[in-house]
């Protein structure tokens, strides 16, 4: 896993976009199919944020976000801490309720439902139905400490999907195998490293087969040497294709490698967005330029 | 004199032990159920449920156990509900200690990290499943030590049933005292020993349960 990441100098890219960074050119093909479909207007977005605002008390964290994510699209959200990017994921997972605006998932309102022609706040039943389409992997893993690794993965299929135990275990072991941890099935979370915990958390979310998966800074709590194994697993899942992904991340090279589109959020607004090939090499806004510049300086200093 | 004590009085005192244990077990059972009912109700999403539970708990905690016992055994019959001694004592003790236990349940549940609930929501557990399979199992080990303390309190509280004439250890002892006043010191000392032995037994059980629950995890 390469950690070093060179962002091509903004100036040089204008003239010779493909030569500045040898590694980058590999990813230039990644003009997303989804985006071209969107341009044709033929695909219904899997996720649609409409003028989403979120305040915590006096503090307005999101100040009107509009964002469409297409089926199968991998969208990376980058931005300084406190920019509201994690809140975006938490709203989509129904962990926080938007102050105003609407979210649609797969063509249905997430936080609202229609009742006698009026849009009202969703009840638990509606939220429960909508949540079956969405999954999330957290920064701090949030494994269930009182359950073995296998139970962590089988619990939701058995309780929520009413799957038979042996069927759930078969599926869970398949997923654990995918993340390389089938041999830890009888261990408890406390016996695993951070990277292993996060891979279990990914298997646990995958086993529910969500249509949209949110990865919320999944490597931020990991020791640097464990970041690679987790990102590799996510890349593999992304390569499978069909799952829609919202990747909230600080890992620029990861965003560049996996995402079809990169969203840059600052101060609660989407400041700039586009394919990673452009976002990282030809940032237009001053905010993004300085954000990437600071990021590069930090990397260089490490 | 010593022979009388060990051959006559101690056996008579010990004949009260089964009733004390029975009262403790039934009382504990009721207290445990009420601890969870009140504890969970005080964490309810619905303000009316929370409010009702809080008021009830405060009412129970704010009145003395012996007065509650007398009220249930002596006042309730005048309102048309006549209870035998054991059920009356079980209800008084169970309700009283249940009110205290609810605070243990409530705080242990609040001590489970918020993230655990969020992870369960992300996996689409419903609110009952979140409580039953994710939150409570993690709160339980936290509840055990304070529950152990409360259970010992409850055991000692069973002596109050003497005042309604239930034949437990204290009652059996006091009825003998009239005949053997010259043995007053050994008799009361024996009582101390019996309650102490029972408490130790209870605490031993809790230590064992704590170890069992902790095994393998965390």
Burial class (CB in 10 A: 0-12, 13-18, 19+), B172: buried
Distance from CA of A144 to the nearest CA of B (A): 7
Distance from CA of A289 to the nearest CA of B (A): 34
Beta carbon pairs, A and B, within 8 Å = 63
Q: Does residue B193 lie within any of the structural domains? A: no
A190 at interface of B, judged by CB pairs closer than 8 A? yes
Q: Is the pLDDT of residue A208 over 60?
A: yes
Which pLDDT score is estimated for B133? Answer: 95
* Mean predicted lDDT score pLDDT of chain A: 85
Each residue of A172-186: pLDDT tens digit? 999 999 999 999 999
What chain A residue is nearest to B134 in terms of C-alpha separation?
A144
**Complex-level ipTM:** 0.83
Q: Does residue B174 lie within any of the structural domains? A: no
Q: Which residues between 126 and 145 in chain B have a beta carbon less than 8 angstroms from any beta carbon of chain A?
A: 126-127, 129, 133-134, 137-138
Q: Does residue B130 lie within any of the structural domains? A: yes
Each residue of A233-283: pLDDT tens digit? 999 999 987 899 999 998 898 899 899 999 999 999 999 999 999 999 999
8 Å CB contact of B116 and A128: no
Q: Is the pLDDT of residue A3 over 70?
A: no
Which pLDDT score is estimated for A43? Answer: 83
Q: Is the pLDDT of residue A24 over 70?
A: no
Q: Is the pLDDT of residue A34 over 60?
A: no
Q: Does residue B26 lie within any of the structural domains? A: yes
Q: Does residue B63 lie within any of the structural domains? A: yes
Alpha-helix residue ranges (DSSP H) falling in A26-148 = 33-40, 85-92, 124-131
Which pLDDT score is estimated for A11? Answer: 38
Comparing CB atoms, the residue among A135, A145, A156 nearest residue B217 is A145
Tell me what percent of the residues of chain A surpass a pLDDT of 70. Answer: 85
The total domain count for chain B is: 1
Partners of B124 on chain A (C-beta within 8 Å) are 128, 131-132, 156, 160, 208
Q: Is the pLDDT of residue A31 over 50?
A: no
Per-10-residue mean pLDDT of chain B, 218 residues long, equals 84 92 96 96 94 95 93 94 94 96 96 96 95 94 94 94 91 89 91 95 93 70
Query: Mean pLDDT throughout A53-75?
Result: 95
Banded model confidence at residue A190, pLDDT cuts 50, 70, 90? very high
Distance from CA of A45 to the nearest CA of B (A): 21
Distance from CA of B112 to the nearest CA of A (A): 11
Partners of B138 on chain A (C-beta within 8 Å) are 144-146
Q: Does residue B179 lie within any of the structural domains? A: no
Q: Is the pLDDT of residue A27 over 60?
A: no
8 Å CB contact of A159 and B133: yes
Alpha carbons within 13 A on the beta-carbon side of B31? 30
Each residue of A105-159: pLDDT tens digit? 999 999 999 888 888 999 999 999 999 999 999 999 999 999 999 999 999 999 9
Which pLDDT score is estimated for A241? Answer: 78
Query: Mean pLDDT throughout A4-21?
Result: 39
Banded model confidence at residue A37, pLDDT cuts 50, 70, 90? very low
Which pLDDT score is estimated for A26? Answer: 38
Distance from CA of A39 to the nearest CA of B (A): 32
A93 at interface of B, judged by CB pairs closer than 8 A? yes
Which pLDDT score is estimated for A117? Answer: 85
Q: Is the pLDDT of residue A10 over 90?
A: no
- Domain residues for the domain of B36 are 18-169
Domain CATH number, residue B86: 1.10.3720.10
Which pLDDT score is estimated for A221? Answer: 87
Six token digits for residue B61: 């905690």
CA A264, A270, A276, A280 dihedral sign is: negative
Q: Does residue B126 lie within any of the structural domains? A: yes
Q: Does residue B161 lie within any of the structural domains? A: yes
């Amino acid at each position: 896993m390469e950690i070093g990441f060179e962002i091509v100098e903004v100036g040089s890219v204008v003239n010779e976009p493909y030569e500045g960074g040898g590694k980058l050119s590999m990813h230039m093909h990644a003009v997303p199919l989804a985006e071209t479909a969107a341009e044709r207007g033929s695909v219904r977005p899997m996720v649609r944020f409409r003028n989403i605002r979120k305040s915590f008390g006096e503090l307005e964290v999101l100040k009107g976000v509009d964002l469409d994510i297409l089926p199968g699209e991998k969208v990376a959200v980058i931005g300084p801490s406190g920019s509201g990017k994690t809140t975006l994921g938490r709203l989509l997972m129904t962990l926080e309720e938007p102050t105003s605006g609407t979210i649609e998932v797969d063509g249905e309102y997430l936080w609202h439902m229609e009742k006698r022609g009026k849009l009202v706040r969703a009840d638990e039943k509606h939220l429960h139905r909508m949540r079956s389409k969405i999954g999330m992997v957290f920064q701090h893993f949030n494994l269930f400490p009182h359950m073995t690794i296998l139970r962590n993965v089988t619990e939701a299929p058995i309780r929520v999907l009413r799957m038979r135990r042996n069927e759930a275990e078969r599926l869970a072991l398949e997923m654990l195998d995918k993340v390389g941890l089938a041999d830890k099935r009888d261990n408890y979370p406390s016996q695993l490293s951070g990277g292993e915990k996060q891979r279990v958390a990914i298997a646990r979310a995958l086993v529910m087969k969500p249509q949209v998966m949110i990865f919320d800074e999944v490597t931020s709590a990991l020791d640097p040497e464990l970041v690679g194994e987790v990102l590799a697993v996510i890349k593999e899942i992304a390569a499978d294709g069909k799952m829609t992904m919202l990747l909230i991340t600080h890992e620029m090279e990861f965003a560049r490698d996996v995402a079809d589109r990169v969203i840059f959020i600052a101060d609660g607004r989407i400041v700039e967005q586009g394919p990673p090939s452009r976002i990282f090499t030809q940032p237009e806004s001053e905010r993004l330029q300085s954000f990437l510049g600071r990021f590069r300086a930090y990397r260089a200093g490490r | 004199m010593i022979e009388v004590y060990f051959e006559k009085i101690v056996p008579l005192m010990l004949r009260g032990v089964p009733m004390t244990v029975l009262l403790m077990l039934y009382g504990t059972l009721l207290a445990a159920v009420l601890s969870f009912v009140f504890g969970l109700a005080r964490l309810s999403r619905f303000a009316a449920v929370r409010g009702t539970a809080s008021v009830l708990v405060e009412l129970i905690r704010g009145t003395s156990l012996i007065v509650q016992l007398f009220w249930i055994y002596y006042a309730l019959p005048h309102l048309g509900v006549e209870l035998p001694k054991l059920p009356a004592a079980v209800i008084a003790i169970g309700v009283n200690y249940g009110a205290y236990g609810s605070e243990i349940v409530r705080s242990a549940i609040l001590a489970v990290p918020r993230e655990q609930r969020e992870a369960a929501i992300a996996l689409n557990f419903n609110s009952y499943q979140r409580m039953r399979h994710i939150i409570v199992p993690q709160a339980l080990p936290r509840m055990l030590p304070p529950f152990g303390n409360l259970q010992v309190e409850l055991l000692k509280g069973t002596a109050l049933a003497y005042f309604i004439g239930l034949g437990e250890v204290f009652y059996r002892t006091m009825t003998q005292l009239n005949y053997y006043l010259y043995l007053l010191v050994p008799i009361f000392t024996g009582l101390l020993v019996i309650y102490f032995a029972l408490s130790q037994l209870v605490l031993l059980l809790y230590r064992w349960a704590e170890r069992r629950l902790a095994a393998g995890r965390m």
